Amino acid sequence: MPELPEVQTVLTTLKPRILGVRIEGVEVFLEKIIKSPGPKEFVALIKERSITGLARRGKYLLLELDASYLLAIHLRMTGQLVYSRSDKPRDRHTHLVFYLSDGAELRFQDMRQFGTMNLMLLGQLDLFCSQKGLGPDALDPALTRELFKQRIGDRRGQIKPLLLDQSLVAGIGNIYANEILWRARIHPERPVSSLTPGELAKLYQAMRQVLTEAVEHRGTTLRDYVDGDGNPGDFQSLLAVHGREGEPCPQCGQKIARMKTGGRSSFVCTRCQE
């Protein structure tokens, strides 16, 4: 699933391509991806709108359109948003096409068909985020270490599922939760209540470092993820633990173990992570 670094990379690659470009038409091949408004109204409202800005909140890519409209796109597990020449053959999982005024197409491709699009007025974004239970973005400069600790507060349960809870901070998925916990030297099954102030500070620092480095390396491609130009990321070559069961820990050489935590696969060094 594309997480914060992947969505940020899609934004970065698409911005010079589509900023200021007009959407001359929209063709929807799979109506269920349009969550609001209805598909026909969606097409009518977007047609002839110019793309005036691109932003991101957690795993949501936000396209700002003229007349104060906003399109929130969630790629979910296998979604791809790719800028393509009109004469390039379409992927067979292409479910929506934006026809652009420069003659190119912006194509939404999604093998698993879980991706979503929501069109709203710009002023409705805060309400939308509240309804989706989104906390502050994990790389928001306003999310200080102290605010991070406050948001964790008296929460219960294990730390790994909490990191995946988008109401705590938005943008972290399974790949980066595993990497963050290894970087902070914290076991994924540690009770949140057992973490010391020093460990919470290390967790915050690890979160910032891992996500920033992943953005710099254009995200992680394990299978489906590509950026807005259709190119894979390269952070997968730098993963310390995720997907590396049985391989040596980069820190101590202990074999990396795989376990289930809250129904998700955790990759952990049982020597380094306590």
Is 24 assigned a catalytic role? no
Is 59 assigned a catalytic role? yes
Of residues 17, 145, 149, 264, which has the active-site annotation? 264
**Selection from 109, 133, 113, 143 nearest residue 60 by Cα:** 133
Is 40 assigned a catalytic role? no
Of residues 2, 5, 136, 188, which has the active-site annotation? 2
Of residues 56, 59, 160, 218, which has the active-site annotation? 59
The two most distant CA atoms of the chain are separated, in Å, by: 58
The torsion region of residue 79 among left (phi > 0), alpha (psi -120 to 50) and beta comes to: beta
- Residue 3 CA to residue 176 CA, distance in Å, equals 8
Of residues 3, 6, 64, 189, which has the active-site annotation? 3
Measured in whole angstroms, the distance separating CA 75 from the mean position of its chain's CA atoms is 8
- Distance from first CA to last CA of the chain, Å, rounded? 27
- Residue 241 CA to residue 251 CA, distance in Å, equals 10
Is 35 assigned a catalytic role? no
Q: Are 155 and 161 in contact (CB under 8 A)?
A: no
Name the residues annotated as catalytic: 2-3, 59, 264
